[in-house]
Amino acid sequence: MKVAVIGANGQLGTEIVKVFADETVIPLTQNDIEISDIGSVERAFANVRPDVVINTAAFLNVELCEKEREKAFLVNETGALNLVRVFERRKIPLLHISTDYVFDGAKRTPYEEIDVPNPLNVYGASKLAGERAIQANCSRYYIVRTSGLYGHAKCIGKGANFIEKILARSKEQSEVRVVNDEVLTPTYSLDLARQIRSLVMTGEYGLYHATNNGSCSWFEFAREVLRLAGSSTPVVPVSSKEYPSEVRRPAYSVLSNSRLATMGLDQMPLWRDSLAAYFA
For residues 69 and 126, give the distance between their C-alpha atoms in angstroms, rounded to a whole number: 8
What angle do helix axes 79-90 and 122-137 make, rounded to 10 degrees? 20
Q: Is 123 a catalytic residue?
A: yes
Residue 184, amino acid = L
Chain centroid to CA 54? 12
For residues 184 and 169, give the distance between their C-alpha atoms in angstroms, rounded to a whole number: 21
The DSSP secondary-structure symbol of 210 reads: -
Candidate list 123, 142, 188, 252, residue with the active-site label = 123
What angle do helix axes 189-200 and 271-279 make, rounded to 10 degrees? 110
Other Cβ atoms less than 10 A from the Cβ of 173: the count is 11
Q: What residues are annotated to the active site?
A: 123
